[in-house]
A and B are shown apart, each in its own frame.
Chain A
Amino acid sequence: MSSRISRVFSDLRKKGELGLVTYVTAGDPNLSRSADILKTLDQAGADVLEVGVPFSDPLADGPVIQRASERALASGTTLTQTLELIKRVRAVVQAPIVVFSYANPILRIGLESFAANASEAGVDGVLVLDLPIEEAGTFRHTLVEAGIDPIFLLSPTTTDLRIRQAAELGRGFLYGISRLGVTGARSEMATGVRGMVRRIRSVTSLPIAVGFGLSHPKHLQEIGKCADAAVVGSALVELIAQQADSEDLTTVIEDFIAWLKGGKGEGMDGS
């Protein structure tokens, strides 16, 4: 059985294209705007949509996503509402949707009921930032049973042994962290990404998306030389923060995605 995520990556491979995975926080600035943002990202050509669940203590995130989480919590967004948001947009969005969360909100709902609700909402994959493979046994099993891809993160500090374990347990794709540290846009790409991707590639045929710190078409071109997809989060979240009240928000997002994908457009290069 091939998942929506696997199909997207296999199409990308056939076309020889680099995939674009986008991250936004659900409920930032509010849930109805989030629905518009997700639809816009899908239409503008994002290949996978990551939807972040706001959490009170996002210790793996830099300031930009921390603030987004705070705004989303202030607007009253919960994990349950995040799943409802996904359910609402699922019918009109082509791209697979991956829930990006910390462990506690999921454990609070309970694994079983989370998996059931996520499956019903049309969630394709789930990635939990603070649930390494050693703690993820039941979690992985429950998701796979519910037809959802468990996605694991790999870092420059991950040992070869654990890469192999993650590759065996993961579905859909593996998420390679480009650098040490928290999430957040950087002007320069981390060195050593290719080495890490090569280490992952040598043990698995699962597609590899690389993220953390990517914000510019030149980063994507670099990533395109080794990985299957690039993840852009903080740069997009920052844009949403700046344009939250603007009527042009969706247009700005479309332009940003076009710029990232093709290097076209203007005004994004000021960083």
Chain B
Amino acid sequence: MIKTEVRERVNPIFGQRDPDDRGYFGTFGGCFVPETLVAPVEDLAKAYFEARSDPKFKNQLGELLDRYVGRPTPIYEAKRLSQDLGGARLFLKREDLAHTGAHKINNALGQALLAARMGKGRVVAETGAGQHGVATATACALLGLKCEVYMGAEDMKRQALNVVRMRLLGATVSPVHSGSQTLKDAINEAMRDWVANVQDSYYLLGSVLGPHPYPLMVREFQSVIGAEARQQILEVSGGLPDVVVACVGGGSNALGIFDGFVKDSSVRLIGVEAGGEAISTGRHAARFAGGSVGVLQGTRSVILQDTDGNVELTHSVSAGLDYAAVGPEHAWLRELGRAEYVWVTDTEALEAFGRLARLEGIIPALESAHALAKAEAMASKMEKDEVVLVNLSGRGDKDVEIVAEEGFDDLGTGCKQGASQEESRA
């Protein structure tokens, strides 16, 4: 009998792991917003809870994920890379193959559908690397919504390709010149816009950050990654993976894939933060290595801050990981001991970027290259029958100029072994 592969639609997972009524995961989360936003955020939560239990809404989203995004994205075994490392089998969840080139579209479509359902004609969003901005501009073009994206002026320079893409898609891209001119400042500006335009505008936040219900909502829209990945890895490897690795900026691709495995206690969940030029230099974005509990942009989580409670400047070669706070649910998973968080440096990520390109013909986003660097370092020390699953959250077209500037575009045959900070595990 000929076995025909039928692509079955796998839906996001809703309502399985809710925070408490006030949006807390343990002691993290909550809703720390200016008074004007309290009612809009409550309205949003109400609308979201209604939508996620409405079969019509779920079907609409499922259909778009299927036909428009191209889901399910495949799981691919990186055999040449695994061979080169000489350890565990390395599998990649190919979110880079989703429409627009990253996992961000899963959430952008979900929230844009919600915005339309709430009767909002205008969407505001922030973006760091530009992938969320592109995804939002795409969803807005598809649904006929006006779109304004705030982006740090520094990020607009280093991710110029995505700025052009957003404008082509009909979005207005507004530069943000305050603070470090990166993701954090773009969020401040998007929230200022929202607070002035709450009546007709929807704030489409791109990660598992901000006030309740955003951290829950974004994780649930991204949970499709983990739901698919779990089925796929069981099919292709015959069992659960030993380790799941994902990069963590705000942490939406990580929570998306973790969600599929969080109940499988045998599976180690590893989040990889941006170690920048290393923790000791102070130029990094590794919140769990150098941060403490605080309140930033609507949520209580772990943030990089000074002794007076001001938020510190961050650094990473990857704009998408260059952020001072981390999603509250990550802080909680870490406190529970369910997930571990480590960091890799700019250099290690750049090396992993080059290795994947040369050995597998895949150019990953610099964000995802952080996860790869860690996964490679772990895999090289594991047994050949063990399985490491990496969320390849996005593709790296946007990053080729940076990589060239950093001098990592022509390494010849230099496929150096990854050397992440194993000892840095928190």
**Structural contact, A106 and B35, CB atoms closer than 8 A:** no
Any A CB within 8 A of the CB of B191 = yes
Within 8 A of A (CB), among B308-342: 308-311
Q: Mark A66-93, 1 if CB is under 8 A from B, else 0.
A: 1000100100001110000000000000
Contact of A106 among B22, B191, B309 (CB under 8 A): B309
Query: Does A182 contact B192, Cβ atoms closer than 8 Å?
Result: yes
A55 to B34: give the CA distance in the assembly, Å: 15
B310 and A105 contacting across the interface, CB-CB below 8 Å: yes
Known contacts A73-B310, A108-B294, A180-B197; is-contact A130 B34 (Cβ 8 Å):
yes
Give the residues in chain A near B38, CB-CB below 8 Å: 132, 134, 155, 157-158, 162
Q: Which of B1-51 contact A (CB under 8 A)?
A: 22, 30-40
CB distance from A191 to the nearest CB of B (A): 14
**Chain B residues with CB below 8 A from A66, complex form:** 178
Tell me, in angstroms, the Cα distance from A59 to B33 when the chains sit together.
9
Query: Chain B contacts of A113 at CB under 8 A?
Result: none
> Shortest beta-carbon distance, A82 to chain B, in Å?
10
| CA of A154 to CA of B32, assembled, Å | 15
User: B297: CB under 8 A from chain A?
Assistant: yes
B172 lies within 8 A of chain A by Cβ = no
A59–B196 Cα distance when bound, in Å, is 12
Contact of B309 among A60, A108, A129, A155 (CB under 8 A): A108
B179 CB to nearest A CB, Å: 7
In the complex, whether A135 has a CB less than 8 A from a CB of chain B is yes
Report chain B residues within 8 Å CB of A105: 308-310
Q: Which residue of B lies closest to A61 (CB)?
A: B192
A132–B35 Cα gap in the complex (Å)?
6
Does B175 make an interface contact (CB < 8 A)? Answer: no
Residue of chain B at shortest CB distance from A181:
B196
- Which chain A positions have C-beta within 8 A of B295? 103-104, 107, 130
Provide the B266-308 mask, 1 if CB < 8 A to any CB of A, else 0.
Answer: 0000000000000000000000000000111110000101011
Residues of A within 8 A of B307 (CB): 108
Is A263 close to B, CB under 8 A? no
List residues of chain B with CB within 8 A of the CB of A130: 32-34, 295, 298
- Residues of B in contact (CB 8 Å), total 36
B116: interface (CB < 8 Å): no
**B36 adjacent to A103 (CB under 8 Å):** no
Are B32 and A157 in contact (CB-based, < 8 A)?
no
In the assembly, what is the distance between CA of A109 and CA of B310, in Å? 11
Nearest B residue to A153 by beta-carbon distance?
A: B35
Q: Does A251 contact B (CB under 8 A)?
A: no
Residue of A nearest to B38 (CB): A132
| Cβ-based interface call for B402 (8 A) | no
A48 → B minimal CB distance (Å): 19
Between A55, A60, A162, the greatest number of chain B beta carbons within 10 A of the residue's beta carbon is seen for A60
Is the beta-carbon distance between A57 and B34 smaller than 8 angstroms? no
| A156 proximal to B (CB < 8 A) | yes
A135-B30 contact given A109-B309, A158-B38, CB 8 Å threshold:
yes
B152 to chain A, nearest CB (A): 13
Interface status of B199 (Cβ within 8 A of chain A):
yes
What is the bound-complex CA distance between A135 and B178, given in angstroms?
A: 28
CB distance from B20 to the nearest CB of A (A): 12
Give the chain B neighbours of A98 by CB distance below 8 A. none
Q: Which of chain A's residues has its CB closest to B309's CB?
A: A108
Residues on B with C-beta less than 8 A from A45 are none
Q: Which residue of B lies closest to A105 (CB)?
A: B309
Name the distance in Å between B94's Cβ and chain A's nearest Cβ: 36
The residue among B34, B196, B305 with the most chain A CB atoms within 10 A of its own CB is: B34
Bound-complex Cα distance A20 to B196 (A) = 25
In the assembled complex, which residues on chain B have CB atoms less than 8 Å from the CB atom of A154?
35
Are B297's CB and A59's CB within 8 A?
A: yes
CB distance from B253 to the nearest CB of A (A): 24
Q: How far is the CA of A157 from the CA of B36 in the complex (A)?
A: 6
Which of B184, B188, B199 lies at the interface centre, i.e. has the most chain A CB atoms within 10 A of its CB?
B188
Residue B198 at the chain A interface, CB threshold 8 Å: yes
Query: In the complex the two chains form, is A57's CB within 8 Å of B296's CB?
Result: yes
- CB pair A180–B199 under 8 Å, yes or no, is yes
Task: Give A13 to B192 CA distance when docked, in angstroms.
Answer: 35
5 contacting pairs across A/B (C-beta < 8 A):
A57-B184, A62-B192, A108-B305, A130-B295, A134-B38
Additional A-B contacts beyond A59-B187, A59-B192, A108-B294 (16; CB < 8 A):
A55-B309, A56-B310, A56-B311, A57-B188, A57-B297, A57-B311, A59-B188, A66-B178, A104-B303, A104-B309, A105-B308, A130-B295, A132-B38, A135-B22, A180-B36, A182-B195
Closest 7 pairs between A and B when the two form their complex, measured CB to CB: A108-B309, A181-B196, A105-B309, A56-B310, A155-B36, A78-B308, A60-B34
